[in-house]
Structures are given as structure tokens and as C-alpha cells.
Amino acid sequence: MVTDTKRYDDLAGTLLRSETVAGYDAADKVLSLTQKDGSGTVIDSFNYQYDVTGKVLQETSTVDPTKNYTYDLTNQLTGDGSST
């Protein structure tokens, strides 16, 4: 599934301010997010990978470093280290 959320500067909906496009898997987990400005230029784009239990393992961005998430034995987030 894909959602496309647009934000406008006016009540008439003619002055587009920004747009977010999100892609989801069958379990409704976010797989991708793309942020655009009012002219449609991509500001940043993110992709997410999950383990079999649904925990986020990795986040990639077109602007920022890749983040690899780690968890302890009780499934608590212990790190979001960057792979630089």
C-alpha cells in the first residue's frame, strides 16, 4: 500500500507546501518514506528493513548515514549506530 499526504498553505488547496509518500508492507510496516517540497523536489528518502519479529533493523537515507539498530535479549533498543 502507498499513501500520499500533501500539505497546503491555503484552505483552497492550491499552494502545495510539502508532500510525504509512504510505502507499507502487508503487515502495515513502513518500508519507505519520501519527503518532497512544494515543487516536488525530493528532500530526503528513507527505506526500512525489519527482522521477522517486526523490529526495525536498518534505516537508509539519501542524506544521512545508514543506521543499524540493535536490541538486547528483552527486545529493548540498545543502539542506532551509523555505518560510516
Q: Give the position of cell 525530493.
A: 42
Q: Which of 41, 83, 48 is nearest to 66 (CA)?
A: 83
Give residue-wise pLDDT tens across range 13-69: 999 999 999 999 999 999 999 999 999 999 999 999 999 999 999 999 999 999 999
**pLDDT recorded at residue 83:** 52
Residue with cell 527505506: 47
pLDDT at residue 81 in the model: 78
Q: What pLDDT does residue 49 have?
A: 97
Please determine, for residue 82, whether its predicted confidence score (pLDDT) is greater than 90. Answer: no
SS3 for the chain is CEEEEEEECCCCCCCEEEEEEEEECCCCCEEEEEEEECCCCEEEEEEEEECCCCCEEEEEECCCCCEEEEECCCCCEEEEEECC
